[in-house]
Chains A and B, each alone.
Chain A
Amino acid sequence: DQQVKQNSPSLSVQEGRISILNCDYTNSMFDYFLWYKKYPAEGPTFLISISSIKDKNEDGRFTVFLNKSAKHLSLHIVPSQPGDSAVYFCAASAGHAQGGSEKLVFGKGTKLTVNP
């Protein structure tokens, strides 16, 4: 039972345009959501997060949107740059509902390619 789903295994965009990566979840107990970026042979790098009490969080070129009623979140990258090419993972945590461990449940990732 996959609680966090990233339905697009890959996405290709032109440099300068917007990249939109999507993520759906099924567990209504999730209250903290994160996006990680991963290059080959490296560990995931934290990008941006959002608490369930918010619907938007912005950090520079990166914005995360949360739609709790639809159990959907998205990551917008504007403008996209070739260096953004990587695999992006969506992750979620139920925090105290899980006994406080805040373990992350990950999607399978979306490979973003930004073409010059």
Chain B
Amino acid sequence: GAGVSQSPSNKVTEKGKDVELRCDPISGHTALYWYRQSLGQGLEFLIYFQGNSAPDKSGLPSDRFSAERTGGSVSTLTIQRTQQEDSAVYLCASSLRPGSNQPQHFGDGTRLSIL
């Protein structure tokens, strides 16, 4: 597709359940990023992929959060045993390649609500 695609667009789940969020980056973009935006806050970095490896996981808030990327394309962010504080909009971005001052292009996000 032309842009970054994320699914689902909305997810409501009960506390304690696991959720999986998906991101399809722009074709040919080697760098992929996950961010989240909590209510009234700016975007907060979670994890960065270059190809299939994740050299920077420094933003993952706890070991309940994990992510993977396969085939240098699609990425999934998994949150286990969800808590109410996990409620946020989860945004994925991709860029052509790191180290070249290329802008990151964002999807429309997944709005996650934990009941």
**Are A and B genuine complex partners?**
yes
Chain A interface residues toward B at CB < 8 A:
4, 32, 34, 36, 41-46, 49, 51, 89, 91, 93, 95-96, 98-109
In the complex, what's the smallest C-beta–C-beta distance from B106 to chain A, in angstroms? 4
Main secondary structure of the interface of B (DSSP, over half): strand
Q: A42-B108, A51-B101 are in contact. Are A103 and B59 (CB under 8 A)?
A: yes
Q: Which residues of B, 47-92, contact A by the 8 Å Cβ criterion?
A: 48, 50, 55-56, 59, 91
Quick check: B33 and A103 within 8 Å, CB to CB? yes
Quick check: A43 and B108 within 8 Å, CB to CB? yes
A selection of 30 A-B contacts at a CB cut-off of 8 Å is A32-B101, A34-B104, A43-B4, A43-B91, A43-B93, A43-B107, A44-B43, A44-B106, A46-B104, A46-B105, A46-B106, A91-B43, A93-B101, A95-B98, A95-B99, A96-B99, A99-B55, A101-B48, A101-B50, A102-B48, A102-B95, A103-B45, A103-B59, A104-B33, A104-B45, A104-B104, A106-B43, A107-B42, A108-B41, A108-B42
Q: Across the A-B interface, how many residue pairs have beta carbons closer than 8 Å?
A: 74
Chain B interface residues toward A at CB < 8 A:
4, 6, 31, 33, 35, 40-45, 48, 50, 55-56, 59, 91, 93, 95, 98-99, 101, 103-109
